[in-house]
C-alpha cells in the first residue's frame, strides 16, 4: 500500500491536514482539497488510487463533487467520509459511483483498509483497459 496516491477532500481544514499527515506517515502520497472545486482541479491534473471525499461541504457538496469527479474519470475509486450520514445520501452516493461510505470519526485502520480495497479495484480497472487496448490493436493489425 505504500506509495498510493490519495486525494483527500474535506472542508474542515484542520481535520484534513491531520488525516493527511497520518496517511503520509503510513507511506501514502496525499493531496488535500478543501472544497469540491479544488478537488475537481486536482483530479483533472493528476491520477489517484483513491479519493476520500467528505459528504457534507459548503458549495459543491459531496454528491455534486462525486458526480463531477466521475465525469472526469469514471474509474475513480471514491470513498465518502461523513459525520452527517443519512441512509438516503449513502444510497445516492453508491448509485453515483462511490465505492464505500465511512462515518466520522472513522478508525484509521478502517479507512486504510477501504483505501487498499479501492486501490486494488483501480489496478484491476487499469489492467482491463490495457488488455482492451491491446486486443483492439491486435484486431486492427489482423495479427
pTM of the model: 0.85
Provide the residue range defining the domain that includes 38: 5-141
- The helix/strand/coil state of 13 is helix
Dump the DSSP string for 18-32. HHHHHHHTTT-EEEE
- Total domain count for the chain? 1
Distances (CA, A) of 54 to 58, 130, 138: 10, 31, 43
pLDDT surpassing 80 at residue 2: no
Question: Which CATH number goes with the domain that contains 135?
Answer: 3.40.50.2300
pLDDT at 85 over 70: no
Residue 86, pLDDT > 90, answer no
With contact defined as beta carbons under 8 Å apart, do 31 and 4 qualify?
no
Amino acid at each position: 500500500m505504500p506509495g498510493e496516491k490519495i486525494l483527500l477532500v474535506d472542508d474542515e481544514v484542520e481535520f484534513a491536514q491531520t488525516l493527511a499527515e497520518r496517511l503520509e506517515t503510513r507511506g501514502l502520497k496525499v493531496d488535500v482539497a478543501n472544497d469540491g472545486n479544488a478537488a475537481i482541479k486536482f483530479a483533472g491534473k493528476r491520477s489517484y488510487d483513491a479519493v476520500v471525499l467528505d459528504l457534507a461541504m459548503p458549495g459543491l457538496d459531496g454528491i455534486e463533487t462525486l458526480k463531477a469527479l466521475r465525469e472526469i474519470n469514471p474509474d475513480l475509486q471514491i470513498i465518502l467520509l461523513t459525520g452527517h450520514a443519512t441512509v438516503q445520501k449513502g444510497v445516492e452516493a453508491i448509485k453515483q459511483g462511490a465505492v464505500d461510505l465511512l462515518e466520522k470519526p472513522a478508525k484509521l485502520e478502517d479507512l486504510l483498509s477501504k483505501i487498499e480495497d479501492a486501490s486494488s479495484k483501480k489496478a484491476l480497472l487499469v489492467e482491463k483497459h490495457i488488455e482492451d487496448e491491446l486486443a483492439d490493436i491486435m484486431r486492427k493489425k489482423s495479427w
